[in-house]
Amino acid sequence: MEEADLFYRQLPKVELHAHLNGSVSFSTIEKLVARKPHLNIEHGMTAIRSGQRRTLDEADIPIICQRKRRRGQRAGCFVRTRRRCFQVFKVIHQLVDTEEDILMVAKDVIREFAADGVKYLELRSTPRKEKTTGMTKRRYVETVIEAIRQCKNEGVDIEVRFLVAVDRRNGAEVAMETVKLAEDFMLSTGGLVVGLDLSGDPTVGHGRDFLPALQKAKNCGLKLSLHLSEVPSQADESELLLNIPPDRIGHGTFLHPEVGGSQSLVDKVRKHNTPLELCLTSNVKGQTVSSYSQHHFLYWYQMGHPSVICTDDKGVFCTDLSQEYQLAASTFNLSQEDMWTLSHKAIDCTFAPDLQQQLHQKWLELQPTLFQL
């Protein structure tokens, strides 16, 4: 990981798109590997280092590649490569299969975001059960909540909320069960569970299958953050999901007309003023965007549309939010004042309206010191 400038480290930041297992750092992976030497897992199986250019076909381990999509390449090749990117999470799941693992991982991730200047964090994760260890989906979520509470009690300078994730690979029936679980925790955790995430391999299933579950979630008061248009040729699915509408959009890579989306999709996003969670390094290393300069951040930013810079999977992609902010600034020639404004406006996109005034005050208190650096 390249070290970001002090300004970006000190800049107070909001992280709204962080998958728990994808955010596990090198140091935490080392601790997990030491606990499970029988798995014979190397760190190269769980992260991408800067400059790695091996393709998936060349790799002998499940590593995410950075091969660019060639002009004229068939969409099917692109989609198959994107699908294989999700293999890396299977390796991480092998390392994180007990309540003890979840507690350590969640606390480490929270502390690391706080150390990077993140003042408000929304973590997301799919509840998992493990027959071999006896961990249930309910205990999975309870353990993440316990980690949030322990960090709060230990004085870690960050506010954390949790989104329960629906993995589209598990189908509609499991999605409905997950919504019920999320609703239970929304009502029982004093506001720590704030929403529902729809994620997982975007090439599996169709968004229409999840409409009943998503509508139920919205009706019971859960906020919705939906991964949308991550891969090409999903315009019909995006139209359906935007009609709900979601409260935020994850990635939205292929929404706009310049990359195969449509003006109709853009108009729907703008009509509801739906914020986008944009993850630069994730999209470049995951091959959905060919380069940083081609990232759709600029399209939405120039339009003045609510856009929040996020990490997605800081561990897997070897980044952090300070680095993502600095990348956006250098790539698109944005000033420190521009980045301050972007960070400050991100507060209004959070799923914790009760904290927004408090966060705005904190930003204003930190501003004079920051611009003296």
Annotated active-site residue in 230, 237, 277, 324: 230
Alpha carbons 191 and 129: distance in angstroms, whole number: 24
Alpha carbons 38 and 202: distance in angstroms, whole number: 32
Helix (H, G, I), strand (E, B) or coil at 4: coil
Task: State the DSSP string of 34-70.
Answer: HH-GGG---GGGT---TT----TTT-SS-----PPPP
Whether 277 is catalytic is: no
* Helix%, strand%, coil% for the chain, nearest 5: 50, 15, 35
Helix (H, G, I), strand (E, B) or coil at 178: helix
Task: State the DSSP string of 328-372.
Answer: HHHHTT--HHHHHHHHHHGGGGSS-HHHHHHHHHHHHHHHHHHTT
Residue environment code for 282-308, b if the CB has 16+ CB neighbours within 10 A, otherwise e: bbbbbbbbeebeebbbbbbbeeeebbb
Q: What positions carry a catalytic annotation? A: 230
